[in-house]
Chain A
Amino acid sequence: MAIIYIDGKPLETQDGQNLLEACIELGLNVPYFCWHPALGSVGACRQCAVKQYRDENDKQGRLVMSCMTLVTDGMRISVDESESKDFRANIIDWMMTNHPHDCPVCDEGGECHLQDMTLMTGHNYRTYRFKKKTYVNQNLGPFINHEMNRCIQCYRCVRYYKDYAGGHDLDAFASHNHVYFGRHEDGVLESEFSGNLVEVCPTGVFTDKTLKEHFTRRWDYTTAPSVCVHCALGCNITPGERYGKLRRIRNRYNRSVNGYFLCDRGRYGYEFVNSDKRPKAPLKRQMIDGKPVHVPMTRDEALSEIGKFFSNGSKAIGIGSPRASLEANFALRALVGAENFYLGLSKADGKLLSAVLEIVLSGPARQPSLGELKDHDAVLILGEDMTNVAPIAALNIRQSVNNQPRANAKAMGIPEWNDLPVRRAMDTDRGPLFIASVAPTRLDDVATQTFHATPDGIASLGFAIANFIDPQSPAANVSGEVRALAQQIATALQSAQKPLVVSGPSCRSEAVIQAAANIAWALCRKAKPAGIYFAAPESNSVGLGLFGGANIENAAEALRKGGADTLVVLENDLYRRVPAALVDELLSLAKHVLVVDHQYSATAQKAEYVLPGATFAEGDGTLVNNIGRAQRMMQVFNPEGEITESWRWLRRLRAASGKGREDEWISFDSFLHALVAEIPAFSHILDAAPTAAFRVGGLKIPRQSHRYSGRTAMKANVAVSETGVTADPDSPMSFSMEGFSMMTPAALMSSFWTPGWNSAQSITRFQEEVNGPLEGGDPGVRLIEPQPDSAVPYFDAVETNESHDAAWTALPLYHIYGSEELSASSPAVAELSPKPYAMLHSDDARARGLLDGDAVTVKIDGQEISTSLKTNDTMARGVVCLPAGLEDAPYIEFPAAAEILRSVTS
């Protein structure tokens, strides 16, 4: 702790921090641009100048950049002093010499850090009387709009994009006051994290291009705290709605999860909510002109007609979903009975998920939070392309490689926030990061070593590493070369302070997962606080797994056995999970098929009844992320028509069927209590957010800003009198502007605003300290903790089967854009989805006379897939990789035996 004097007042600050951080924590208004809490200080913009005095007798003082000045005990500074104030106002004056003053037509207007700083410095009148320069803008792809004229040259964009996110295709060009930020030529930004430019840029140079299609000013959104549904990491988001449309997704800071950043799938995948194809009323299939057609019915018709299928004595089979909330899955389970509830996973998927859960529930290794990934100093990834599967985890692992080299800077006495010298001192050093995968991954550029092999090969490497660390861990039979690599990795992990092993289901191999466990456990048993981190496929995979239950194949089995008339499919497109023939059979075995979903999926299209479920934006619910962190999503807006949460539909059906009371589980809280009472493993989810009864000063938390405009006018086309505010019995939030938006618990914060701070930068006002947790603690609760003294035995090593028979092993490659069902239907994401392909090692291809770009047919399980060939020089041999989950691509159960034939070209 250092005591410093600011304008004569003694104040407490933290040792090692810079003066700007100290001022921010003290709540002082010191303006800045180039500093960013995640990027540190570079001293370029000169906006944060304050006066520093030598001692109490020094009346003159000198200007210093607060972001570049280390706090020292007894230091004297002034923020109010006139020379520094004048200088700060001038910085804006200079920046404005070429800024277009186009706030009224700028998408950033109203949440612009430049606007805020302009007001803060008191720069009111333009004195520049000469001609401004103008730039040519670039087309940067479907996500980011570029408007260079607004640039104030703070260099944040390139520092974020290149230094932080590891991108290579955004740079600074030219010099003096012609500096330009963009690409060497027009083109789609390559980084999967480009969308953060929108929030990193303090003005309107980089803005959200998808928002442009339905633009709304910051104060006009209805927002609520929510959680991203596009992968299992559970990044915290703030969705914004107006006029019944979801307009955009912004980052919601949570130090333990995503921090300041989102991936582009999470930011731009939201348009599935706005899809015209969604069911908006209950649908029933009827034959019209000999064709099956879904026709709408009323809620009451639907409940009375469908409710009958669940009345006492009848049996229904329920298939849950890893993309549906805990509540929705629980409601289904309650409706059909635990014994008739099946996880909406294939047998293979279920097995991989159980393997992971068994390891994290019984083993000694702790799973770090997503945010904590940044703190590890040696990482081994077994079998995952994290960027495409768990993007923000990849972004954070990318930061981890700096931890060991940063020691160089520390030794030179360079503070951690002093970004340029720290990077200089690190030079090209990168901490240990080893990646074993089937094919190259997007983190390879910072990897110490990569190793490409079949899943068995990867598992064997893993077992060999574990065996090096702890000879008790079973040895694997590997070649000398692999042994040497295993030893190198083992040494790196053992000599680190905080090693981490990352794995997951992408290789479709239990052995890979188990090998990862052995390594982490071996390290733990050698007294290293090793972390283990598993990617999971979907937003609630782990939550679903914690219910326990059988698989889709078992559901088919049960239906075949007879006795059940009705099949309920919850938020699940079965055609994406098991072979089409099995789905067809399932659907035909049941007399009645009911789908509850917000998407009109292939499965829904074949159902007899469809009930319109709510998306994440339209309902409350809890998701459990890949490491078992339960997080609450609050309803953002009231959907049109009969759309409501799946759990509510299922509760209604339960009541309509006479199984439950009409007044049972009416409120979300009562429903949650029932869930927890039934399944104690979930008991902590009650702590994920305050109950609906929570109030601040007797008031609810508004979803709308106090500047929300047009509420009397926006529905004037319907009725000129102001429509009432819809009540929200499920949460402590209101669908209006009334209420108390300050001092709310973090779990209820969606929009961060404080007087003078309208931009994304306002977040620093809500953190306990710079880069710290949100005041009152980061929202979310961990449901899974390690068993430090666990004596769980090591897994046996796999027998590697290196003999290549004629068949190829087909394995999936996941794509950030395209492999995930919901985001894939958002136009911007769809634009970047890959075309179907089959990828082989170049030598494998050549040996069969095939070349990159050739048309080929891949035969798997009797299906013939015509596609085009890609070759790769380093991927595993004997393997053919196919993109996973692309729209319209047939389902394949990986790993599969495949044959490859050259397509006959006409």
Chain B
Amino acid sequence: MLSDALKREIESHIHEPEHRAAACTEALRIVQRERGWIDDESIRDIAEFLTMTPHELDGVATFFNLIHRRPVGRNVIRICSSVSCWVLGYDKLRDALQKKLEIKPGQTTADQRFTLIPNQCLGCCDHGPALMVNGDLHRDVDPDRLDDVLNRYA
């Protein structure tokens, strides 16, 4: 069940009432913000609210990169894996994160604190390597000083 607050927020993204389903990507984003990831129940809830079928909505949800259809940790690290950051040391940064968190890309730490996901170009090419934790962008990340970044996230 979607809470009334969530429904209101989704509703605020319906700009043309005859195209209710157009708000589905916004709805996925909003519900994911609240629930961390999009489980099957969320798919059904949103689909119903926007008068879509779960099949249609899941077809959309699984198309895009930023929607998690599997559980993630409390904090999601999106490390930029694209070309400028790669030139500037993506591999080293990724390896450092893997070692520190003891997980591979796509995995979640045992304590559910972090999920590590490679991300396409973060548009921060002049300050690579870059990564985002949740909504926060971190630029010029030094693999040797990762704790400065990670310690901010419980």
Contact = CB atoms under 8 A, between A and B. Distances in A.
B59 A172 contact: yes
A184 B43 contact: yes
Interface string A166-200: 00111111110000100111000000000000000
Interface in B8-50: 18, 40, 43
B18 A184 contact: no
B119 to A, nearest CB: 15
A184 B63 contact: no
Contact of B40 (A170, A173, A174, A185): A185
A168 B63 CA distance: 18
B53 A169 contact: yes
Contacts of A428: 18
A463 to B, nearest CB: 34
Nearest to B65: A175
Nearest to B52: A168
A334 to B, nearest CB: 55
A405 to B, nearest CB: 15
B59 A171 contact: yes
The prevalent SS among residues of A at the interface is: loop
Contact of B56 (A168, A174, A175): A168
Contact of A169 (B18, B55, B63): B55
B50 to A, nearest CB: 14
Contacts of A169: 53, 55
Nearest to A174: B62
Nearest to A169: B55
Nearest to A158: B59
Contacts of A180: 62
B141 to A, nearest CB: 28
B126 to A, nearest CB: 28
Interface residues of B, number: 13
Interface residues of A, number: 13
B142 interface: no
A170 B63 contact: no
A285 B95 CA distance: 85
Contacts of B54: 184-185
Interface in A150-170: 168-170
A175 B66 CA distance: 13
Contacts of B62: 173-175, 180
Given A185-B40, A428-B18, A171 B63 contact: no
Which of B40, B43, B62, B64 neighbours the largest number of chain A CB atoms within 10 Å of its CB? B62
Nearest to B19: A428
A172 B56 CA distance: 8
Given A174-B62, A174-B63, A168 B55 contact: yes
Which of A171, A175, A184 neighbours the largest number of chain B CB atoms within 10 Å of its CB? A184
Contacts of A175: 62-64
A173 B69 CA distance: 12
Interface string B53-93: 11111110011100000000000000000000000000000
Contacts of B57: 184
B24 to A, nearest CB: 13
B112 to A, nearest CB: 25
A388 B62 CA distance: 34
Given A174-B63, A184-B43, A168 B58 contact: no
Nearest to B57: A184
A183 B57 CA distance: 11
Given A184-B43, A185-B40, A171 B58 contact: yes
A146 to B, nearest CB: 14
Contact of A173 (B18, B53, B58): B58
Contacts of A183: 55
Given A184-B43, A185-B40, A171 B18 contact: no
Contacts of A172: 59
A170 B40 CA distance: 16
Contacts of A184: 40, 43, 53-55, 57-58
Interface string A782-798: 00000000000000000
A266 B148 CA distance: 68
A171 B63 CA distance: 12
Interface string A633-661: 00000000000000000000000000000
A616 B40 CA distance: 46
A404 B18 CA distance: 20
Contacts of B18: 428
B42 to A, nearest CB: 12
Which of A168, A169, A173, A183 neighbours the largest number of chain B CB atoms within 10 Å of its CB? A173
Contacts of B64: 175
A170 B58 CA distance: 11
A173 B56 contact: no
A557 to B, nearest CB: 54
Contacts of A185: 40, 54
B47 to A, nearest CB: 9
A355 B17 CA distance: 46
A168 B59 contact: no
A169 B44 CA distance: 13
A187 to B, nearest CB: 10
A752 to B, nearest CB: 33
A548 to B, nearest CB: 49
A383 to B, nearest CB: 28
B149 to A, nearest CB: 30
A429 to B, nearest CB: 11
Nearest to A183: B55
A428 B56 CA distance: 16
Contacts of A170: 55
A703 to B, nearest CB: 41
Nearest to B18: A428
A810 B22 CA distance: 43
Nearest to B47: A184
A173 B55 CA distance: 9
B29 to A, nearest CB: 17
Contacts of B63: 173-175
A173 B61 CA distance: 8
Nearest to B59: A171
Given A173-B62, A428-B18, A168 B40 contact: no
Contacts of A173: 58-59, 62-63
Contacts of A171: 55-56, 58-59
Nearest to A175: B63
Nearest to B64: A175
A168 B47 CA distance: 12
B28 to A, nearest CB: 14
Contacts of B55: 168-171, 183-184
B60 to A, nearest CB: 9
Nearest to A187: B55
A169 B63 CA distance: 17
A642 B40 CA distance: 57
Contacts of B40: 184-185
A307 B73 CA distance: 84
Interface in A780-835: none
Nearest to A181: B59
A833 to B, nearest CB: 24
A296 B58 CA distance: 59
A173 to B, nearest CB: 5
A168 B58 CA distance: 12
B103 to A, nearest CB: 22
Nearest to A172: B59
Contacts of B56: 168, 171
A515 to B, nearest CB: 33
Nearest to B54: A184
Which 10 residue pairs are nearest across A and B when measured between Cβ atoms? Answer: A171-B59, A184-B58, A184-B55, A171-B55, A168-B53, A184-B54, A173-B62, A174-B62, A175-B63, A169-B55
20 contacts: A168-B53, A168-B55, A168-B56, A169-B53, A169-B55, A170-B55, A171-B55, A171-B56, A173-B58, A173-B62, A174-B62, A175-B62, A175-B63, A180-B62, A183-B55, A184-B40, A184-B55, A184-B57, A184-B58, A428-B18
Given A169-B53, A175-B63, A180-B62, 4 more contacts: A171-B55, A173-B63, A184-B43, A184-B54
